[in-house]
Amino acid sequence: AGAGAQKDRVVTEEEWLQKWETGNIGFHKEHGHPLLQKHLDVLLNGRSGLRIFFPLCGKAVEMKWLLDMGHSVVGVEVSEQALKEFFAEHSLPYCEEPVPGILGAKKLQSTSGNISLYCCSIYDLSSSVVGKFDAVWDRGALVAVNPRDRQRYVSLMITLMEKNSSYLLVTVSYDPNKHKGPPFYVPESEIKSLFG
Ligand code: SAH
Q: Which atom of ligand 1 is nearest to the CA of 13?
A: 19
Q: Which atom of ligand 1 is nearest to the CA of 59?
A: 8
CA 142 – CA 173 distance, rounded (Å): 13
Tens digit of each residue's pLDDT, the chain (196 residues): 456 899 999 999 999 999 999 999 999 999 999 999 999 999 999 999 999 999 999 999 999 999 999 999 999 999 999 999 999 999 999 999 999 999 999 999 999 999 999 999 999 999 999 999 999 999 999 999 999 999 999 999 999 999 999 999 999 999 999 999 999 999 999 999 999 9
Q: Whose CA is nearest to atom 19 of ligand 1?
A: 13
3-state secondary structure the chain: CHHHHHCCCCCCHHHHHHHHHHCCCCCCCCCCCHHHHHHHHHHHCCCCCCEEEECCCCCCCHHHHHHHCCCEEEEEECCHHHHHHHHHHCCCCEEEEECCCCCCCEEEEECCCCEEEEECCHHHCCHHHHCCEEEEEEECCCCCCCHHHHHHHHHHHHHCEEEEEEEEEECCCCCCCCCCCCCCCCCHHHHHHHHC
CA 139 – CA 142 distance, rounded (Å): 7
Which residues belong to the annotated binding site?
A: 16-27, 56, 77, 121-122, 139
CA 67 – CA 60 distance, rounded (Å): 12
Residues paired with 135 in a beta bridge: 52, 166
Q: Is the pTM of this model over 0.95?
A: yes
The per-residue pLDDT for 45 is: 96
Q: Which atom of ligand 1 is nearest to the CA of 76?
A: 24
The per-residue pLDDT for 1 is: 46
Which of 14, 66, 78 is the pocket-test mutation for ligand 1 (most atoms within 8 Å of CB)? 78
Q: Which atom of ligand 1 is nearest to the CA of 29?
A: 8
Using CA atoms, how far residue 38 sits from 42, 103, 155, in Å, is 9, 39, 27
Using CA atoms, how far residue 173 sits from 67, 71, 176, in Å, is 30, 31, 9
Which residues belong to the annotated binding site for S-adenosyl-L-methionine?
A: 16-27, 56, 77, 121-122, 139
CA 19 – CA 34 distance, rounded (Å): 24
* Residues with C-beta less than 6 Å from any ligand 1 atom: 16, 27-28, 56-58, 60, 76-79, 82, 121-123, 139-141, 144
The CATH topology of domain 13-21+32-195 is: Rossmann fold (3.40.50)
Q: Whose CA is nearest to atom 14 of ligand 1?
A: 16
The per-residue pLDDT for 24 is: 98
Q: Whose CA is nearest to atom 13 of ligand 1?
A: 58
Which of 9, 77, 83 is the pocket-test mutation for ligand 1 (most atoms within 8 Å of CB)? 77
